[in-house]
């Protein structure tokens, strides 16, 4: 999942989201749903409802997600600025095969 999401989602985050042990931010949930080729607009009201009823657990100073992200950005800033992220191709929508399509009245 981490590779399929372009390394936007960490393995522990995906596990927590799928197991229901973490709510995550809407951006994380949206990235997971899109990686699974789902329709994220269906899940947004559900996520909002779950987020309203959940209070975030306090994190010790310096051990939150933000500090880890800042650390990674600082470490890889020169690489991130010079290379473009590879995009994963989306699956095309299925189209009916005309020879196999039967039309009523023909």
24 backbone dihedrals φ, ψ, rounded to 5°: 75, 170
Tell me the pTM.
Answer: 0.49
User: For residue 103, what pLDDT is reported?
Assistant: 63
Q: Which pLDDT tens digit goes with each residue over 38-80?
A: 888 898 998 898 888 876 555 555 555 567 777 777 777 776 6
Q: Cα(8)–Cα(29) distance, rounded to whole angstroms?
A: 11
Chain CA centroid to CA 75, Å: 23
């Amino acid at each position: 999942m981490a590779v399929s999401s372009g390394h936007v989602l960490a393995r522990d985050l995906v596990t927590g989201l799928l197991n229901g042990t973490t709510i995550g931010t809407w951006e994380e949930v949206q990235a997971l749903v899109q990686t699974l080729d789902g329709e994220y607009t269906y899940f947004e009201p559900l996520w909002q409802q779950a987020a309203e009823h959940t209070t975030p657990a306090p994190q010790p100073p310096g051990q939150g997600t933000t500090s880890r992200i800042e650390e990674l950005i600082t470490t890889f800033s020169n690489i991130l600025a010079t290379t473009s992220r590879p995009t994963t191709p989306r699956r095309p929508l299925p189209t009916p095969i005309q020879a196999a399509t039967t039309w009523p009245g023909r």
